[in-house]
Structures are given as structure tokens and as C-alpha cells.
Amino acid sequence: MRISNVFLKNVDSYNDFTETENWYVQEGQENVLYLRIVDLDRDGLRFIPDAGSEVEVTFTNIEDGEPDIVKTASIEYEPEDRSIFKLTLDNDEIPASGNVKFKLTHNTKEYYWMKTGGVTVQTLEVGGCGC
């Protein structure tokens, strides 16, 4: 089984959201991010993991030499739809634009994948040396 995800935005309920190409994050504010787990072997059909499953999400830190930002996404709409997960980046957690790594733990199995270009970050400092 090949597991992956689609990124979601404008999430109002498990039936009211928009799929998007990647996550868009703004520096200096809390960013709430949603994803839907899908089964690539079933043409992207949503995948329903066990209750209590979690997704570990790893972002590269925008600060060189700083550790990666690792967050745990949890099921947002239990029991209605266990395919949608939510995580929050605090206002001081700023990832670098680029790839995002995922790990789903489901039924004692672990599934890993990466989304190339999965996050775009808007920083407060545009150009210049920041002096």
C-alpha cells in the first residue's frame, strides 16, 4: 500500500474544504494546517486509519543549523472522517519553503512519504541584510 496526502485549505468541516497544491505559511503568526490521507494504489481514494492514529510531519527549519521542526498531526473529525488531520505551527516555528516529510503510524505499521515543494513560506523580511 502506498500512502500519501493531499493538502487542504479553507477547512470548515469534513465536507467543506478545498484541496491545494501545497501549504502556505506566514511568518509571525500561528498557522493551522490540514491534510487528508490518501491511498495511491486506489487512485487517491481517502484512506481511513485506525482511531487514534497520528501523522508526524517534519519541516526543515528556516534557520540554518537549527533542528528540523517536527509536529504531530491528529485526526480532526473523529468519528465522522478519520482521513483528515490537523496540526498547528506556532508563531515562532518557521519552516523553510520546500519539502515536507510525513510518517503515519497506523495499526502498528509505519508509512513514510515526502511531498516535494510541500510548503511555501512568506517571511516578514523581504530582501536586504536585515541589519
What domains can be seen in the chain, in order of their start residue? 3-122 (2.60.40)
Predicted TM-score of the model (pTM): 0.92
For 91-124, the pLDDT digits (tens) are 999 999 999 999 999 988 999 999 999 999 999 8
Cross-strand partners of 3: 39
Hey, what's the cell of 108?
502498528
pLDDT at 130 over 70: no
**Distance, CA of 110 to CA of 71 (rounded, Å):** 16
**Are the CB atoms for 25 and 89 separated by under 8 Å?**
yes
pLDDT at 126 over 60: yes
For 9-53, the pLDDT digits (tens) are 999 999 999 999 999 999 999 999 999 999 999 999 999 999 989
